[in-house]
Structure 1
Amino acid sequence: MAPSRTQAIPFTLALGWCAPVLAGSLVVSPAPVPRTDAEKHAILTAPHALINGVKVELHYHTLLRSGQTGQADPDGYRFGQLYDQKGQPLLAEDGSPYLSHHNDFSSLLRGADEQLYMVSHFESRPGAMYLTALTQDTQTGQLTAQRTRPLDFSALNGGWVHCAGSVTPWGTHLGSEEYEPDAKQWRDGTISDYNAAMARYFGAAPEQAQTVVNPYDYGYPIEVQVAQFDAATVTKHYAMGRIALELGYVMPDRKTVYMSDDGTNVGLFRFVAQQPGDLSAGTLWVAQWQQQDADGAGRARLNWINLGTATDVEVRDWIGRYRFADLFEETAPNTADPDTPAQCPNGFTAINVGHTTGTHQCLKLRDINQDGQIDTLDQTIASRLETRRWAAMQGGTTEFRKMEGITYDAARHQLYLAISEIDYGMLNFSRAGRTPGSVSTYDQGGANHIQLKQANVCGAVYALELDAHYTALGMKPLITGTPLTVKYGASAQAAAYDGQNQCDVNGIANPDNLTFIPGYDTLIIGEDSGAGHQNDVLWAYHLASDQLMRLQTSPYGSETTSPYFYPDINGFAYLMSVVQHPYGESDADKLTDPRHRAGYTGYFVFLALNP
């Protein structure tokens, strides 16, 4: 699907969908494409919108930036400051308190005390989540941060790279731990600097990560329930599996949860809880891509493979008992003949999994609990501690590239899923800009289920058809970006390429998180783009008319993370929008003041938009 033009257009849903009648209209006057240096340093927003015929001025309101304190507690905690397991501040190299500028998902919740709160992620190692008490202006809906504090993860051995998230149907925060540490590095004594940074949480140097950090502590969904500002419960749901979790999204049945796995050669997972509203026990499934079309962003039926049932209590016990070498025997692929694809010896299963890169591995499940037999219990242990590896061994697809946001459209009964780049394992022994068949790294040894003909590093948002039980049956592209360079997947460099934006500025580039505005048939799409778009964009995409509108742009080197829509909080609707790490991902040379690195956590506010 080609990107749309960027003129102001009516967002009016045509009636006739075989679903609840939707009649809301939204007309947006689009934000400009940043052209000048001043515009590229700023957050630009659409000037106004017509919502059901009423003109509404659009303003981006900043709640907190990294390093700030609450209005009522100026000497209190600084938003985004990192602490160790004992509650002591972590220090930067210059001795100053370490502040994370990697702001990510921020939820709006109502506590048991009926007050409004925000739970905010910081995508760091160690990770941090902050709880902020909010007040709401009854006339304008504007929110004010009164107090903020870090949530205590000490009983869980800390948090890890908290990325995107969602709000459950029962009103709790469901967070994430992305880019889980590879436990093989602990077996081999090759722990990366990225993973070793977690040792600081335990008051140790990174060189001590081998002994103080257990990699199996990280990579799980995290639920936060708020009673009041001084009382919030943090729970890791180990039963849901361990991946490079972008986010989990709970379906309206209050049992089914879709989980996106971010990185290279990763999978799509589904968890079904045993009881509605309780994620502490359930069955885990992995998707298998059954390709139907190799053109464009592809199309497939989805088969689901059962990875077993477990509880949080069981998995927490296994984390303390077992290491990678207890789970798998591993051997190197046979590579004697350089002209023959490497194979695994008899008895070993060949897989190719990430998340950092595709890796051909030969694994054999061990008798993990040493009961004299390799049985279902051993398989279940592997499924929760080494979820991606075990999923691949069972036939699941682990070839997706940068799986990101998830949201749900009740009117169409569809799930929307962002794939930030179509490249690597999603091709057939190839890479963007490379000759087909010339790259084996991401397919050798794997199932090679996904064999798309052409890369598109600008990415795509897919629609997933659901059945009555919220099981995804198929997957097809909804909207794709348009590459302008060979490096990004174009057959030849386009005349429109300006030397800075490798994806068409009037279309999406590297879609990240998503949220849906029910009743207005509008999908909000954030971006996490380096060279695709020099300035990342927050888009509004109207499905029925196939129109794409630019709502917001972010400064140099930042990304527009974790948009999330709330239709009615005390008579006002909110669209959350976070600007992460300005000048951090690219264009670092454009930074003129170190204070400008601070990330933004903010929102747009309207009168309630009930479907």
Structure 2
Amino acid sequence: MVEFNRRQLMATSLAASVGASVAGGVVSGEQEDTDTEKAPSVDGEITRFASTALGAEVTGPFILPDGTLIFSLQHPSRENPEPFNSGGIGYVKGYQFEEGSDFDELSVPNTEEERRRVRAAEGEYTLLAREGDNLGNNEDLGMPLTPDGLSIDEFAGSRYSDFGYQPDMNQFIPTNEAGTEGLLFTNFETSPGNVTRMPISQDEKGVWSADLEEAVNLSNTEELRSLGGTRINCYGDVSPWNTPLTSEEEYAHTRTAYTSTVSDIVEDGTGVGHRGGAQFWNRPNPSEIQAAIDEYYGEESWDVQGYWALGGVELLAYYLGAERVDQASGYTENTKTPIPDNYPNPYRTGYIVDFREPESETPKPVKYHVFGRAAWECPDIQSDEKTAYVSSDGANKGFYKFVADEPIPSYDDPMDVEGTLYAAKVTNKEAAAKKSPAEAELEIEWLPLSRASNAEIAEWIAEYDDVSQVDYLETHADTDWEEDLQAALEEADKEVAENGNRNYITDEEIKEWGELWSEDPESTVADRGREDLRKVPFLETRAAAKEIGATVEFRKSEGIDSVDDAGPGDYVYIGISEVNDGMSDDAGDIRTERVDGGLVYRGKLEDDYNISTLEPVIVGPDATDPADVANDALVNVDNVYVMDDGRVLCCEDADQFGRSYKNDCMYVYTPPELKDDGDDGGDESEETTEDSGHGNGNGSNGHGNGNDGNGSNGNGHGN
């Protein structure tokens, strides 16, 4: 298992929490997160509703039709008492969120007993299903299998967390008019990834229960395996056409590290100092590439962004049916002998997946290649059924929009969905520079990357289907790997680091695409005789966006959501877990002051469902803030969920910072326009900020992190 995650990074040095450089290179080392004005602050009110058990994130919030809150217990500490020591899916029994419903704020967890269980302000958290539960088909909840039925956890090799331990998204599809019966779709954030479908129902006393006999792991259906499976399934949504949407948070899509562009590589004549993890996808034991780069280049080595997310790629190969290579002695040992067949195509992961016909015996998964490829946290498709906003998690990432030519469900075949993919460009960098994020609205222009249909992109993806680990060695090394594997591996690694992985889209293709786009953004590369370059922005979305000057600087853009049936005048909420790295440096389009505690933006939908301004409404604390401040602030927001009445559930994926406790919490945010006390919410919040340094108006909590990690040990994730 890869031992690399944010919480461990934070523990390596106290300096990490204030911006010093640590392993992973995800904090600048030139900044300290110290006393940013109006950090923390809230425009409106936040109220703590729940705290989770030690070690766990709060993930997968969903309000059932009767107002019951459901959420996941993701990667809790194994030292917690039963049942809070394993991954689980549960609901708050005895309380319903209704329009304007109120509750007494939950206290901070002060005792060891309070910290090691899930608590709610009202009602009681009750588990529906747990890691290790056996399903009716004799599979374990969340466990992917090989085509011949072998559990993936029986194989040796690098992991992306424990299977069943990482439940995330929960989306409910009712199957009766009353909404008392339905299908709960839950993500599992592993590699191979998984989505389970579990029937749940409510009895006459209001108690919900799960039917595990009828629950299924959708990863083990031929329909999903035929698409290449999924990886790192994170948050999601229910589409306007009432189907569950899951997101592949493919952190290993990063072709270049952090601020580097493909043009930088071409101009320098080498990728040394620039390459990201994606280029080493089909290397034998790919997650070991960082250690290899450090050994090869010594003081000239660099942080290979996303390398840790290559954990689990070889397990994905076995899930797809690859021949078992050096998995002797009960599959307890894994060597560098290359996997020769059925190796996953990297361009098949990193998408939003729609499960059409969710009530059928086997739902029909569709990957929306047209939305682009990234580390998607979740989508938010608008009620026009054409416009989708998607946020990408990690350091130096973009913000994207897809607009279909026609409403997506109107296409008889979802592979015919066609439209334009856009990347956001922040246009008011001078006005926002060196301000507190609380005072810096971001003005957005949307740059059209390209247009295509889902079917066209699927054909481009298929061109890279048969690239194996053997190809990595034979393409990039002169030494015969069968005669000297270690020598061939070093040659191949250095060749790829310096000149790129020639098995996939090349640096030159991306640079040429960017040059053609810049000459005339309104025309297409196909118009100028380069039909072969149309694939670039869909398969290498982040690299392409960088080439044309889009704002690829957002730091851990996490949850995104709007009220169901949102229309012009309603808001889309976006959680940014940390304001550092590309958002708070001295380069690029975003140069605000640093707030490691993150923030929540919202953007008002215009008549055409466009968003042109992101306004901050919640700002977390600085990493240096003491407990009397940090205990009462939302920190490192992850999932956000907009309820029918416009209030927003905000979930944490964080660490302690200066707080007096280490638990993640869930808060209810009430926007200023919904406050019913007769006062101006914004002014009241400003006064609270100035007088107390808290600025929450009603009390809340937060904690922080500041560094990237992989979640492989059940904690956070990042670059």
- TM-score, scaled relative to structure 1: 0.69
Alpha-carbon distance, 1:142 to partner: 2.1
Alpha-carbon distance, 1:225 to partner: 2.4
Alpha-carbon distance, 1:581 to partner: 8.4
Aligned to 2:142: 80
Q: Secondary structure at the match of 2:248?
A: coil
Alpha-carbon distance, 1:585 to partner: 2.2
Q: Is 1:223 paired with 2:351?
A: no
Alpha-carbon distance, 1:379 to partner: 4.2
Quick one: distance in 2 between partners of 1:190 and 1:582?
16
Aligned to 2:589: 449
Aligned to 1:465: 604
Q: Is 1:166 paired with 2:237?
A: yes
Q: For the Cα contact (< 8 Å) 1:539–1:548, is it kept in 2?
A: no
Aligned to 2:485: none
Aligned to 2:452: 310
Relative to structure 1, the CA distance from residue 25 to residue 227 in structure 2 (aligned partners, 3 Å threshold; closer, same or farther) is closer
Alpha-carbon distance, 1:195 to partner: 1.5
1:428 to 556, 574, 585: 585
Gaps of at least 5 residues in structure 2 are 1-37, 50-97, 254-277, 289-308, 326-333, 468-506, 515-524, 676-680, 682-695
Q: Is 1:236 paired with 2:367?
A: yes
Q: Secondary structure at the match of 2:240?
A: coil
Q: Is 1:529 paired with 2:529?
A: no
Aligned to 2:193: 127
Write the deviation string for residues 261-288 of structure 1: whole angstroms up to 9, x where unpaired: 1111100000112221336322111100
Quick one: distance in 1 between partners of 2:46 and 2:229?
46
Q: Is 1:195 paired with 2:195?
A: no
Counterparts of 1:254-403 in structure 2, within 5 Å, are: 254-278=385-409, 280-290=417-427, 291=429, 292-294=431-433, 295-297=435-437, 298-322=440-464, 364-365=511-512, 375=529, 377-403=531-557
Quick one: distance in 2 between partners of 1:496 and 1:180?
32
Relative to structure 1, the CA distance from residue 168 to residue 377 in structure 2 (aligned partners, 3 Å threshold; closer, same or farther) is same
Alpha-carbon distance, 1:189 to partner: 7.7
Q: For the Cα contact (< 8 Å) 1:401–1:425, is it kept in 2?
A: yes
Alpha-carbon distance, 1:307 to partner: 1.2
Quick one: distance in 2 between partners of 1:385 and 1:316?
10
Q: For the Cα contact (< 8 Å) 1:32–1:44, is it kept in 2?
A: no
Counterparts of 1:179-194 in structure 2, within 5 Å, are: 179-182=250-253, 183-186=278-281, 191-193=286-288, 194=309
Quick one: distance in 2 between partners of 1:67 and 1:552?
32
Write the deviation string for residues 168-226 of structure 1: whole angstroms up to 9, x where unpaired: 01100111111243442248889335325222233255744686121111101100124
Q: For the Cα contact (< 8 Å) 1:84–1:202, is it kept in 2?
A: no
Q: Matched residue pairs, number?
A: 466
Quick one: distance in 2 between partners of 1:427 and 1:323?
39
Relative to structure 1, the CA distance from residue 202 to residue 428 in structure 2 (aligned partners, 3 Å threshold; closer, same or farther) is closer
Q: For the Cα contact (< 8 Å) 2:47–2:667, is it kept in 1?
A: no
Aligned to 2:73: none
Relative to structure 1, the CA distance from residue 253 to residue 549 in structure 2 (aligned partners, 3 Å threshold; closer, same or farther) is farther
Alpha-carbon distance, 1:363 to partner: 5.5
Write the deviation string for residues 100-124 of structure 1: whole angstroms up to 9, x where unpaired: 3111101101359996111111111
Relative to structure 1, the CA distance from residue 379 to residue 473 in structure 2 (aligned partners, 3 Å threshold; closer, same or farther) is farther
Aligned to 2:210: 144
Q: For the Cα contact (< 8 Å) 2:372–2:538, is it kept in 1?
A: yes
Aligned to 2:106: 31
Quick one: distance in 1 between partners of 2:165 and 2:712?
8
Write the deviation string for residues 225-284 of structure 1: whole angstroms up to 9, x where unpaired: 245362211111112210111111111111110000111110000011222133632211
Quick one: distance in 2 between partners of 1:60 and 1:45?
7
Q: For the Cα contact (< 8 Å) 1:112–1:226, is it kept in 2?
A: no
Quick one: distance in 2 between partners of 1:158 and 1:479?
37
Q: For the Cα contact (< 8 Å) 1:125–1:161, is it kept in 2?
A: yes
Alpha-carbon distance, 1:310 to partner: 1.2
Counterparts of 1:570-589 in structure 2, within 5 Å, are: 584-585=714-715
Relative to structure 1, the CA distance from residue 228 to residue 414 in structure 2 (aligned partners, 3 Å threshold; closer, same or farther) is closer
Aligned to 2:247: 176
Alpha-carbon distance, 1:7 to partner: 9.2
Quick one: distance in 2 between partners of 1:227 and 1:220?
18
Q: Secondary structure at the match of 1:315?
A: helix
Q: Secondary structure at the match of 1:39?
A: helix
Q: For the Cα contact (< 8 Å) 2:233–2:246, is it kept in 1?
A: yes
Aligned to 1:248: 379
Q: Is 1:101 paired with 2:173?
A: no
Alpha-carbon distance, 1:30 to partner: 1.4
Aligned to 2:125: 60
Quick one: distance in 1 between partners of 2:420 and 2:148?
35
Counterparts of 1:507-586 in structure 2, within 5 Å, are: 507-519=633-645, 521-532=646-657, 534-544=662-672, 545=675, 584-585=714-715
Q: Which amino acid aligns with 1:100?
A: G
Q: For the Cα contact (< 8 Å) 2:184–2:198, is it kept in 1?
A: yes
Alpha-carbon distance, 1:94 to partner: 9.1
Quick one: distance in 2 between partners of 1:361 and 1:276?
36
Quick one: distance in 2 between partners of 1:510 and 1:219?
23
Write the deviation string for residues 74-122 of structure 1: whole angstroms up to 9, x where unpaired: x733211222344431134799x96331111011013599961111111
Aligned to 2:183: 117
Quick one: distance in 2 between partners of 1:582 and 1:34?
26
Alpha-carbon distance, 1:467 to partner: 1.1
Relative to structure 1, the CA distance from residue 162 to residue 220 in structure 2 (aligned partners, 3 Å threshold; closer, same or farther) is same
Relative to structure 1, the CA distance from residue 6 to residue 404 in structure 2 (aligned partners, 3 Å threshold; closer, same or farther) is closer
**Larger strand fraction of residues:** 1
Quick one: distance in 2 between partners of 1:267 and 1:382?
16
Write the deviation string for residues 433-470 of structure 1: whole angstroms up to 9, x where unpaired: xxxxxxxxxx5xxxx01111x21010000011221111
Q: For the Cα contact (< 8 Å) 2:193–2:231, is it kept in 1?
A: yes
Alpha-carbon distance, 1:552 to partner: 10
Q: Secondary structure at the match of 1:234?
A: strand
Quick one: distance in 2 between partners of 1:465 and 1:65?
39
Q: For the Cα contact (< 8 Å) 1:260–1:406, is it kept in 2?
A: yes
Relative to structure 1, the CA distance from residue 307 to residue 375 in structure 2 (aligned partners, 3 Å threshold; closer, same or farther) is farther
- TM-score, scaled relative to structure 2: 0.59
Q: For the Cα contact (< 8 Å) 2:652–2:664, is it kept in 1?
A: yes
Q: Which amino acid aligns with 2:665?
A: V
Q: Which amino acid aligns with 2:239?
A: T
Q: Secondary structure at the match of 1:285?
A: strand
Q: For the Cα contact (< 8 Å) 2:186–2:197, is it kept in 1?
A: yes
Q: For the Cα contact (< 8 Å) 2:596–2:623, is it kept in 1?
A: no
Quick one: distance in 2 between partners of 1:189 and 1:303?
42
Quick one: distance in 2 between partners of 1:187 and 1:581?
21
Q: Which amino acid aligns with 2:316?
A: Y
Aligned to 1:55: none
Work out which structure has the larger RCO, using CA pairs closer than 8 Å and 6 or more positions apart in sequence: 2
**Larger helix fraction of residues:** 2
Q: For the Cα contact (< 8 Å) 1:32–1:550, is it kept in 2?
A: no
Quick one: distance in 2 between partners of 1:551 and 1:506?
4
Relative to structure 1, the CA distance from residue 233 to residue 363 in structure 2 (aligned partners, 3 Å threshold; closer, same or farther) is closer
Quick one: distance in 2 between partners of 1:513 and 1:166?
11
